[in-house]
Structures are given as structure tokens and as C-alpha cells.
Homo-oligomer: A and B are copies of this chain.
């Protein structure tokens, strides 16, 4: 018995030829009804549609792609998903993809360059038409334009180490700089910077803005990189404050750092902004309800995801792979609440 005898299968998804047989037409007619590729008489169309209904048939998208059509899917690689920032990015990407009728294959790199390339590879093997990615630590990301063949790639939030990849960023440096200038306007002369690691592009860019503002004002730097846990942050802050010349203000470089610093401040019994003024980078939903409400640099998270994804679809549509990637930088806002020393009852957004 040859494999022709497909009825032997206990269960099998109906195929186009099943529909054709039931409707007593050729497979091509079914295809035409499905895609509206050519004219079909109303009578036959009705027969086909009824057969489709009866069999609960739905076309095998994979076969279609396989046949050489577009896969209507893009890949998205993020470091993590439990971070609100990244999740919001994902939301934006998925939303734009849906607007274009595309599906998203989403994976996380866990900030591991190996995982990152492996996942990218897996996506390409699945014939995604493009990839949007937040690269792992800039230095170590091994993503290269060349390994993507003609498949477009757009990096966002952090640049890729490969300059020929399109990139969408926000004004990390300028934002941090303006925030520090604001703290200086409040009269602070000893301003500390706390972050996770300088090897993260965004953190480093923000640090450079901080440094620049201090230099312009002739002030000294005081930075700590290692806010990766409650205890390390607490110890660092404790050491800073015990120092003969403790900071009177702190700029935290990410929501995570902000959280750890907030915890440490509470633990040390410090008062914000009386004992220590505080400003963070990256706004978050509950920033208004911390004690006191937090002043932050707000980045256009959704916007960044949207712009990156639209850029990708642009590349896909034009089938072009640029020699030198474009670089788009989105503006940030300063949200003044109370932790910096301002007295605003409701947040004031600048620019």
C-alpha cells in the first residue's frame, strides 16, 4: 500500500486537493478562489467555498512560503522580557507588525552574544523577512550584516557593532546632560552617577552626558558602576555617604538602578530630596507614587520601537540592503517631579 492511501491516517489536516475533490474542481480553482488570482464563476466559487466550510480547511501558510512567497513574519530579539522597558518595546514592534499583517517570532538573548546569533540564525532558517533587534552589550554582539544575507536588520536602543546595520536610538547623552544641569541649577555641586555597567551602551552614553555637564560646570565626577543587586548598591551608597565629602544628589542611569538606589536610600534612612536629591533615567508608571515622586529623563520607548519596525518594513518593501546603515536619534523629555528638589505638585514635562 503506497503512501497515496492517505485515508489511512487517523487524522490529517485537510489540504487544497481535499477541497478540490469534494467540490469536484481542480486544485487551481480552489487556489484562485482563495487568492482571487483570476476569475471564477459564481457557481464554482460557491461550490468551493462550501467545501472549504465543510472541511474546515485553512491554507497551509508554510507551504505557501515554501513555494516562494513572503513569509509575512519578522523576528524580534530582545535581551529580556521581564524588564518593562523591553516589554514595551516588544509591544510597539508587535503592534506595527500586525498593522502590516505580519507575525512576530520573539526570542530573548539574555544578553548573551552566543544566544543572540543562534536565535538570529534560527529566525533566518525560518525565513523571516526581517529582524528587529536590541543587540547585546555593544562590544560583544556578534551580529553582522553579512550573516543576514539580503534579510534586512534594524537595531534599536543600542547600536550594533556592525555600522552597516540601521539603528534607532534615543538621546541618551543629551538627556543625562540636561538632567545633571538641572540638578546643578538646584545648587548641587557633588552629584553622583550610579549605574549597572559602563559596558552597556545606553548606560555609558548617559554617563558621558553626566560627565560632560560636570566638566562644563567645573565639578568633580563621582560614579559607581555595579548596581546589579540590592546589596551591592546599598554598600556602594553607604560608602559614598560615609565619605568625607558625600554627594548631595544622584543620577541613576536606568529603572533598575533607580530601584536599587531607592531601596538603599530607604534602608539607610535618608530623606529625598532633603538629604539627597535623586533623578533617574527612564520613566516608569509608578514614578509618580514613589516617595517622593521621581524626577526622570523620559525616553520615547514606544516611539522607538515603532520607528525601528517601520524602518524595517520600509527596507523589506524596497528590498534594499543599504551599504551604510542610517542612524535615527529620537529626542527625550525631562519630567520634573519632586525628588530633584522641585516643588511641582504635578509633573512638569520639558521639551
Interface residues of A (CB under 8 A from B): 11, 13, 56, 58-63, 65-66, 71, 73, 80-82, 84, 86-88, 90-91, 94-95, 98, 103-108, 121-127, 147, 149-150, 259, 262-263, 266, 284-286, 288-292
Contact = CB atoms under 8 A, between A and B. Distances in A.
A61 to B, nearest CB: 4
B108 A94 contact: yes
Contacts of A107: 94, 98, 103-104
A91 B108 contact: yes
A238 to B, nearest CB: 17
A127 B60 contact: yes
A86 B90 CA distance: 12
Given A73-B126, A289-B290, 17 more contacts: A11-B149, A58-B125, A61-B122, A61-B126, A82-B84, A82-B91, A90-B90, A94-B107, A103-B107, A103-B123, A105-B106, A259-B289, A284-B286, A286-B289, A290-B291, A291-B291, A291-B292
A127 B66 CA distance: 13
A262 B259 CA distance: 18
A19 to B, nearest CB: 15
Nearest to A97: B107
Given A122-B103, A288-B263, A81 B61 contact: no
B62 A66 contact: yes
Contacts of A124: 58
A62 B65 contact: yes
A73 to B, nearest CB: 8
Nearest to A150: B11
A218 B61 CA distance: 59
A87 B81 contact: yes
Contacts of A106: 90, 94, 104-106
A293 to B, nearest CB: 9
Contacts of A104: 105-107
B121 A94 contact: no
A5 to B, nearest CB: 16
Contacts of A13: 149
A63 B66 contact: yes
Contacts of A108: 91, 94-95, 98
8 contacts: A59-B125, A60-B127, A61-B122, A61-B127, A90-B106, A95-B108, A259-B285, A290-B290
A107 B73 CA distance: 11
A84 B81 contact: no
B125 A61 contact: yes
A129 to B, nearest CB: 12
